[in-house]
Amino acid sequence: MERNNVRISFFNRLITACISALIIVVMACCAPVAILVFGRGHGVGIIDSYRTFHIWGTSVSVVAGVVGFALGADRTIILFSHFWGTGHSNSVRFTLFLWGALIGVGLISYWLLAPSGN
């Protein structure tokens, strides 16, 4: 596949997929610390969802790998910059859409995986 007369190799896509999956796993592992620090004790209930980390963590990392492979390095970097706030976005709506989708997936996952006794 060519973009702007630059050929994106299979190896480039494969490396991007692996790095994307690894970054998502690191972010998911750091999230409980951020929730506890910035939530000031109010996020303790959310930490319960980490009992099923092996299910949703694997799913999210696989999705990140597939997206990284499909988009290639350049577009994956732009996508991550929307989440981290490090890029100069011309489309605030797109950034808000991505954050809304991420929060929505998190809420749906928590609802589906939450213990039914609570």
Rounded distance, CA 35 to CA 42, Å? Answer: 8
Kindly state whether residue 59 falls inside one of the protein's structural domains. yes
Residue 25, φ and ψ in degrees, nearest 5: -65, -45
Asked whether residue 2 carries a pLDDT value surpassing 50, the answer given is: no
Average pLDDT of the chain to the nearest whole number: 79
Q: pLDDT at position 90, please?
A: 75
Number of domains into which the chain is organized: 1
- Flag whether 45 is in a domain: yes
pLDDT digits (tens, 9 = 90+) for 29-51: 887 777 777 777 666 666 666 77
pTM, entire model:
0.70
Burial class of 83 by CB neighbour count within 10 A (0 to 12, 13 to 18, 19+): middle
| Separation of first and last alpha carbons in the chain | 50
Domain extent, residue 93, equals: 2-113
Note whether residue 118 is domain-resident: no
Output the pLDDT for position 45. Answer: 67
Specify if 28 maps to a domain.
Answer: yes
